Amino acid sequence: MSTQPIDVQSVLDGFDTPWSPRIPLYVNDYDIRIAKFLGEHVWHVHHETDEFFLVLDGEIAIGLREADGERVVTLPRGSMFVVPRGTFHMPSSEQGASVLLVEPTGTLSVGDEHDEVPDHVDATIGHRV
């Protein structure tokens, strides 16, 4: 783990690939992930963990499949949201966005269960910076 401050913009400048999160830091057993969003991800679910989103730049939408149907949560820059464990969800961004995520280390970016993963989505546990 780094003992020096990490500049978020430097992390973002270090990669271009959407849906391919980078891990600059760990907190206890959690990854602090930085990702770029563009287009649609994939419908997926994390059965055992919540997923935290903080929009650093741009705007994202998160589709949610809940007991009473589907809805979409829109998060502009500076907004935070937690997808509860066991909720199918699909993040997307029409214009592109930069997002900070917090998830337990080793969490697969496409969840425990998912639709077919498109080629533009990196099914990964994250890439260390």
> Residue 89 domain-assigned?
yes
Q: What angle do CA 48, 54, 60 make, to 5 degrees?
A: 95
> Residue 95 domain-assigned?
yes
> Residue 1 domain-assigned?
no
Percent of the chain with pLDDT over 70: 99
pLDDT of res. 1: 64
Total structural domains within the chain: 1
> Residue 64 domain-assigned?
yes
User: Mean pLDDT score of the chain, rounded to an integer?
Assistant: 96
> Residue 118 domain-assigned?
no
Sign of CA dihedral 48, 111, 123, 54: negative
**Residue 34 sits in a domain of what CATH number?**
2.60.120.10
Per-residue model confidence as pLDDT tens digits over 62-81: 999 999 999 999 999 999 99
Contact 53, 91 (CB under 8 A): yes
Block residue for tokens 């994202």 = 60
Indicate if the pLDDT at residue 124 is higher than 70.
yes
User: What single letter denotes the amino acid at residue 101?
Assistant: L
Q: What is the CA radius of gyration of the chain?
A: 14
Per-residue model confidence as pLDDT tens digits over 6-30: 999 999 999 999 999 999 999 999 9
Indicate if the pLDDT at residue 128 is higher than 90.
yes
> Residue 29 domain-assigned?
yes
